[in-house]
Structure 1
Amino acid sequence: MTDMNLENEIRGFHESINYRLEQQSLSTLQYHGIKRTPIDKGNRKQLKVRAFHYQILSTSRSVNSPEMFKSEGSDWEGLTGNSLYFEKELQEFALQCLYLTNTPLGECVVQRNGKRDVAVVQLKKLTARELLKTEQLALQYELEKSHLKQTMTFGADLELMFQNEITKRFMNGGELTTNEFGYDQAVAVHQNRVFHPIIEIRPKPSAISEELHNNLLVLYQKVINQTSKFHLNINTNPNPLSRFFLGGHIHFGNVPFTFQHVRLLDQFVAIPFAIAEVEPSFIRRKNYGRLGSVRRNSYKGFEYRVLPTWFHLIPISLPLLEWIEYIMKNAYRLDATLFEENSLKRYYDQRFQDFSIDQWAFKYREYIVEEKGKLLFDNFVTYLKKL
């Protein structure tokens, strides 16, 4: 396939999913709390990611060479799937930067400056002509896959913590061994013993949101019964302890993993949810809850990780799930928009809480054309008012 044909394929793909957002400058990342760092900063390792939407085309690690042999700029070595854990985290961060700047085909260089401090070094838009042959083939394969249609599935994993009413100690999630209950990878150490304090409930996925909600209700009741029986308190604070954060993740199977789908979830779910949230954690929003926080899953789709845990809201959350289902099944008919500066300030900064859910609904209801969509939108807004 020629470069021109590949460019036409990309254009056609974007038209098919209704993705029309113009690229924004690197400076827009500051509104999401993302730092920029100079190109040359000592001997710190950098990661360069080239991607089409969330499909990584190539990943390279910077290599420190002796000065006399060093070529202009950095030297890079390609990485395979066996990259280190921290480099996988950097990959996700680079993809997030590309998403937040609306750069569906681009290159992003990122760098770790400390244990938790990551920053973006460079970011640029690419054309098909600038890709290596292997990258073009990977892109072409991704475009061909997009034509395959399968039944969409919905799942979730909601995080919470169990605390003993008497000892005040948190339960170790590592003791759970069922498919419906598990634990997050976050660890704590107590008396030289490693344990996992964050519990996850994992309902069986479903092709419709109503069935997923029923599955969640069953697990919710199990948790209520068992915690009462063993005198455990349920903690659903989005930031219950210093470095622990609780999320309410939504899983999608057989769904195109594109900037369009993620932007609509940010725009029509996460931002209004944040407006209505009663006791938010702005620390979580600036980290694990940053807009565009997603991860590819093994079900030909992705995990949307932006929302805080909503375990305590499960009994009334059918409107949330139905609205999400509608968005995902109509992503190609809904218009995604650029993030407004004021909207981002309200999302990330507690000083700018001057916008009601009614004001948000008045502004965005006109984006929904179908009567069914308007009904689900109204139900979602009513749900948010109950938070």
Structure 2
Amino acid sequence: MNLENEINSFHRRINYKLVQQPIMSLENHLIKVSRNFANRRTMLKVRAFHYTILSAKRSDFNSPLLTKSKPIWEETDQKSFYYEQELKDFALHCLYLTNTPLGECIVQRCSKKGVQVVQLQSLTVEQLTYSEQEYLAAYIRNSHKDDQVTFGADLELMLRNNKTFKFMNGHLLKNMQFGYDDAIAIHKNRVAHPIFEIRPKPASKIEDLHNHLMILFQKFKRQTQIFDLQIITDPNPFGRFFLGGHIHFGNTPFTFQHVRLLDQYVAIPYALADKNPSFERRTSYGMLGAVRKNQYNGFEYRVLPTWFHIIPSCLPLLLWIEYLITNAHHIETLELNRASVTSYYNKDHQNYQLDQWEKDNKKKFAEKKGERLFEPFVSYLKKL
């Protein structure tokens, strides 16, 4: 079987059928697209198959004086800069959002914090180098493993002392199931980690993960009551701090199909039901398609805001997520509804409602198990 046929077989196996969208569709997700190089800043060119990077090259210019000189591309492997991982993740994100499973994306930092897309295109097998073809072929052939899917989570929150009104330093918690995020706050030359993380033990069944979460939830609640601490679960408590509810999948194919299912059937309806949304978080850390590869042969879904406060009642949500991931090869994915995407990012355009989403999607889950889980999931969202 030649490589093109292997790619087609891979996509049939995971049921991925989405049609590529134009580069300008990224603007629906508030991503800057520019055909012009920004002050000759370094660019990164990423070639990838789904979330597997085939090659990554950094730009250099053949003349520091000629502003129209063409960039020279060099491999990043031998000399990697700390900021390049962020650019690689951004390029993969853009390929995902445009439904470009085999493609090339050139990105560039355009300001201290801003990044932009300079070019994005689909690739054919013939356009790949020999080493890229070999790497892609090896990835596809190793993707047939059928190991037990595992589920995990890390839920972020903050703690505030009810007497002093100061936030507690997460560095004080050091064990496997309680920890702190890398985000720091500096006050009077002291570094603090104000964001705590709840890290339940992974499980092969979602009910077991929920049980692990409940044990930690109750333990944490007891401790906060003893020490008179307030649990903060606002997705954007203040400033640049954002709280997420990340879900981990182990032994799970890290593909556009799996991530699109979670965006389409979890993140969008959850956002429509959210009574306390943070649009600032949705346009940064909580963008649709925000994911990260993990060390458990799977990925971490980072889109949802923290759901620590609803752990006792969240089983319908978790069961629905388990169903989507374990049946990804049977469920059809569609291009994201333009109205739902606009509502997700823009607080001034809230025309798309949960009832409409339910009506639009209910018939897609007519088979027995899907129908049995869809109704409790939607009912649960309406009670949030």
TM-score with structure 2 length normalisation?
0.97
Equivalences for residues 141-180 of structure 1 within 5 A: 141-180=138-177
Query: 3-state DSSP class of the match of 1:75?
Result: strand
**Counterpart among 244, 248, 259 of residue 245 in structure 2:** 248
Report what 2:320 is aligned to: 323
Q: Quote the Cα distance in structure 1 between the aligned partners of 2:360 and 2:63.
A: 58
Q: CA deviation at 1:112?
A: 1.0
Aligned partner of 2:143: which letter?
Answer: S
Does the Cα contact within 8 Å between 2:57 and 2:76 map onto a contact in 1?
yes
Q: For residues 308-367 of structure 1, give each alpha carbon's deviation from its aligned partner in whole angstroms, at most 9, with x where no partner exists.
A: 000000000001110000000100100000012111111111112233322211110111
Report what 2:56 is aligned to: 59
Aligned partner of 2:285: which letter?
Answer: Y
Query: 3-state DSSP class of the match of 1:332?
Result: coil
Task: Please say which of residues 211-220 and 131-140 is displaced more in the overlay.
Answer: 131-140
Matched, 1:269 2:274: no
Does the Cα contact within 8 Å between 1:62 and 1:76 map onto a contact in 2?
yes
Q: For residues 34-56 of structure 1, give each alpha carbon's deviation from its aligned partner in whole angstroms, at most 9, with x where no partner exists.
A: 00123322221111111000001
CA RMSD of aligned residues (A): 1.5
Q: Quote the Cα distance in structure 1 between the aligned partners of 2:175 and 2:311.
A: 20
Matched, 1:353 2:329: no
Q: Which runs of 5+ in 1 are unaligned?
A: none
Q: Quote the Cα distance in structure 2 between the aligned partners of 1:241 and 1:6.
A: 50
Report what 2:300 is aligned to: 303
Cα 1:93–1:254 change in 2 (3 A) is: same
Report what 2:197 is aligned to: 200
Q: Quote the Cα distance in structure 1 between the aligned partners of 2:66 and 2:26.
A: 35
Q: Quote the Cα distance in structure 1 between the aligned partners of 2:79 and 2:164.
A: 42
Cα 1:39–1:141 change in 2 (3 A) is: farther
Does the Cα contact within 8 Å between 1:291 and 1:306 map onto a contact in 2?
yes
Does the Cα contact within 8 Å between 2:246 and 2:304 map onto a contact in 1?
yes
- Percent identity of the aligned residues? 55
Equivalences for residues 97-108 of structure 1 within 5 A: 97-108=94-105
Report what 2:86 is aligned to: 89
Cα 1:275–1:65 change in 2 (3 A) is: same
TM-score with structure 1 length normalisation?
0.96
Q: For residues 8-30 of structure 1, give each alpha carbon's deviation from its aligned partner in whole angstroms, at most 9, with x where no partner exists.
A: 11011001111000000001000
Q: CA deviation at 1:68?
A: 8.0
Query: 3-state DSSP class of the match of 1:213?
Result: helix
Q: CA deviation at 1:273?
A: 0.1
Equivalences for residues 1-387 of structure 1 within 5 A: 5-67=2-64, 73-80=70-77, 83-387=80-384
Q: CA deviation at 1:81?
A: 8.1
Q: Quote the Cα distance in structure 1 between the aligned partners of 2:28 and 2:78.
A: 32
Q: Quote the Cα distance in structure 1 between the aligned partners of 2:277 and 2:79.
A: 37
Q: CA deviation at 1:209?
A: 0.6
Q: Quote the Cα distance in structure 1 between the aligned partners of 2:242 and 2:218.
A: 23
Q: CA deviation at 1:82?
A: 6.8
Does the Cα contact within 8 Å between 2:248 and 2:299 map onto a contact in 1?
yes
Report runs of 4+ in structure 1 exceeding 4 Å deviation: 67-72
Q: Quote the Cα distance in structure 1 between the aligned partners of 2:63 and 2:353.
A: 58
Q: Which runs of 5+ in 2 are unaligned?
A: none
Q: Quote the Cα distance in structure 1 between the aligned partners of 2:54 and 2:217.
A: 40
Query: 3-state DSSP class of the match of 1:326?
Result: helix
Cα 1:167–1:82 change in 2 (3 A) is: farther
Q: Quote the Cα distance in structure 1 between the aligned partners of 2:172 and 2:45.
A: 39
Task: Please say which of residues 76-85 and 319-328 is displaced more in the overlay.
Answer: 76-85
Cα 1:178–1:191 change in 2 (3 A) is: same
Q: Quote the Cα distance in structure 2 between the aligned partners of 1:211 and 1:132.
A: 45
Cα 1:189–1:182 change in 2 (3 A) is: same
Does the Cα contact within 8 Å between 2:61 and 2:70 map onto a contact in 1?
no
Aligned partner of 2:85: which letter?
Answer: K
Cα 1:82–1:175 change in 2 (3 A) is: farther
